[in-house]
Amino acid sequence: MRPGVAVTPGTSCPLNLAAERDIDRVGVYHPTMRIALAQLNPIVGDLSGNSRLVRTAAEGVKGRAELLVCPELVLCGYPPKDLLARQGFVNRSDTAVDELAMQLPAELGVIVGHPTARGVTGGRIANAASLLHGGKVIATVQKCLLPNYDVFDEQRYFRRARTTQPVDFLGRKLGIHICEDAWWPDPETYYDKEPTRYADPVSQLADAGAEILINISASPYEVQKLERRQQLMADHAVKHGLPLVFVNQVGGNDDLVFDGASFVLSADGSLRTQLPMFEAASVVVDLDALPDEPDSVLPASDTGTAAVAASHPREHEMFEALVLGLGDYIRKCGFTDCVLGLSGGIDSALAACVAAHAVGPERVHGLMMPSRYSSDHSVSDANRLAEALGLDAELIPIDQVHSAYEATPVIDADLAADPAGLAEQNLQARIRGAMVMVRSNQHGWIALATGNKSELAVGYCTLYGDMCGGFAVLSDLLKEDVYALSRYVNARAGREVIPVNIIEKPPSAELAPDQFDDDTLPPYPVLDAILKGLIEDELSVDAIAENHPRDVVEWVAKRVDRNEFKRRQMPPGIKLSPRAFGTGRRMPMAARIG
């Protein structure tokens, strides 16, 4: 660091970094500040491992930056949920912060997110960010706005700070704030009709003299959320005429995927740099250099290159979110391999592609389990998929097991009363589920369920059959998105990974003679449009019936409500949309909804 240099206001600053904001009211020029952004992938609860991630990032930028910024709650991972209520956990987190401060390079300032019991009254805890420097915790700020909607439940655990102040660091006032603090006044969350209920933390910081706005986040991925997020941050930068640093968590934790995509904005709201989506990365930005200067964005290490995000289509983002979410769930839960049924249909095909990218094709084990109703192309298509991906695939016909059930007198009587009826169809699905679970138990592989959001929504799925497993890969993909991503997989590979016949043939569960999905369901384009209205947009039947036949809309709405009990028993999946089945959508099961 160069020491502050006294200058006369109005004269040129040294090193061609002249800027009126860099000369304080007593005429002291503040040296340049290089800030490193590190989007990290923590494991929830792993205080020592997550501290190690921060130390590694700090060593990588030592001597190249004055300040390193890490994500929200990075020391405990996000979301920690009821771990925060476990006796001693938050106190151990506070101790981990103290220990981390002593282990970091003394000359480097590091901002880390963590839960804390310090400085919080009433026996509560806070969602906090601490600035570590010189072996000590030199400042801690607490989160002001606590999200309590969709997947967020922070008011269950934390007490919010009423006000916030900038933190002094090396002659600069840092406006450190935490995730939701920058989402005021997002019209979807904070309303103009309640202007006194919520403070604006960013305005508080700017009014108190902040010179740099720094937001640390654990902001989960949703389709098109990046654009919305950047616009909100740019609005703050422009409103206050201040540069803004945004650092986001990356990685999958349970049903959430964090996309990273950290960025730096200039005071005019323009994008200085953005880190890649869906991968851990870091970069150093010289906030005092002009954006077009060659050294304004630097690599985070001597051997690295400055990571910059590329623009990708919607299908690319969704596929990468699925890959990261599944891969991290498998690894963080201690598995190495996965097993799933390969039916020759499009859902299991796409699920297998995601799994192959997530853990490697040699760790994906497919079971082809044809029944008496399966078509020849189902096995051949599944075989071609397995060969294209390089999967371990095995043929296990289920007719012998099916016949053994039928030979059991009581079961035979029930099945004979309705041949190929619902009980027999579900029996086949459950036989297949049992086969998958045998392999899972015997080899320690996680079983993957392959149902999509459209089918799960209306109950076109079988409990303890195709719904069984440890993770539901496609549970937040409508059927039309399954088709779009399958076509994307082939376009991305430049070859036929998913056989075209799988994509083009009419979808069928093949649990009865000549069975096709549209015998039971509306055409998927119609069904998906209605489901999007009901679930993601939360529209009424009347509103949706303006564009679709009322009888179809009413049928779909009743099926969605009636099958909540099934979805409550499904494995976790990956949230991609604003309203996914899982922790963010809480509907009653025993209900009569008018």
* Domain spans of the chain, in order of start: 32-304, 316-518
Q: Would you call 224 helix, strand, or coil by DSSP?
A: coil
CA distance 135 to 212: 23
CA distance 392 to 339: 9
Q: Give the CB-side neighbour count of residue 402, counting CA atoms within 13 A.
A: 23
| Catalytic position from the list 66, 70, 76, 143 | 143
Q: Which two tokens stand for residue 587?
A: 């509907």
Q: Give the CB-side neighbour count of residue 31, counting CA atoms within 13 A.
A: 12
- Reply yes or no on whether the pLDDT at 9 is more than 60: no
For the question of residue 179 being annotated catalytic, the response is: yes
- Reply yes or no on whether the pLDDT at 12 is more than 50: no
- Reply yes or no on whether the pLDDT at 171 is more than 50: yes
CA distance 593 to 540: 12
- Reply yes or no on whether the pLDDT at 19 is more than 80: no
Across 43-52, 191-200, 268-277, least confident range: 191-200
What's the pLDDT tens digit per position in 515-525?
Answer: 677 778 899 99
For the question of residue 72 being annotated catalytic, the response is: yes
Q: Would you call 166 helix, strand, or coil by DSSP?
A: coil
- Reply yes or no on whether the pLDDT at 504 is more than 50: yes
CA distance 42 to 258: 11
Q: Are strands 212-217 and 281-286 parallel, antiparallel or unpaired?
A: unpaired
CA distances from 522 to 531, 556, 577 (A): 11, 9, 22
pLDDT computed for residue 13 by the predictor: 30
- Reply yes or no on whether the pLDDT at 550 is more than 90: yes
- Reply yes or no on whether the pLDDT at 108 is more than 90: yes
| Catalytic position from the list 66, 70, 72, 564 | 72
* Fold held by 316-518: Rossmann fold (3.40.50)
pLDDT computed for residue 324 by the predictor: 97
Beta carbons within 8 Å of 553's beta carbon, 6+ residues apart: 530, 541, 544, 545
CA distance 266 to 178: 19
Predicted confidence band of residue 293 (pLDDT cuts 50, 70, 90): low
- Reply yes or no on whether the pLDDT at 433 is more than 90: yes
Range 138-149 average pLDDT: 92
What's the pLDDT tens digit per position in 436-466?
Answer: 999 999 999 999 999 999 999 999 999 999 9
For the question of residue 353 being annotated catalytic, the response is: no
| Catalytic position from the list 70, 76, 179, 468 | 179
pLDDT computed for residue 304 by the predictor: 56
Q: Is the pTM value of this prediction over 0.85?
A: yes
What's the pLDDT tens digit per position in 55-103?
Answer: 999 999 999 999 999 999 999 999 999 999 999 999 999 999 999 999 9
Q: Which two tokens stand for residue 347?
A: 């859902």
Predicted confidence band of residue 29 (pLDDT cuts 50, 70, 90): very low
CATH number for the segment(s) 32-304: 3.60.110.10
**pLDDT averaged over the chain?**
87
Closest CA to 200 of 229, 248, 163, 240: 163
Beta carbons within 8 Å of 202's beta carbon, 6+ residues apart: 175, 177, 181, 182, 184, 213, 236, 240
pLDDT computed for residue 1 by the predictor: 30
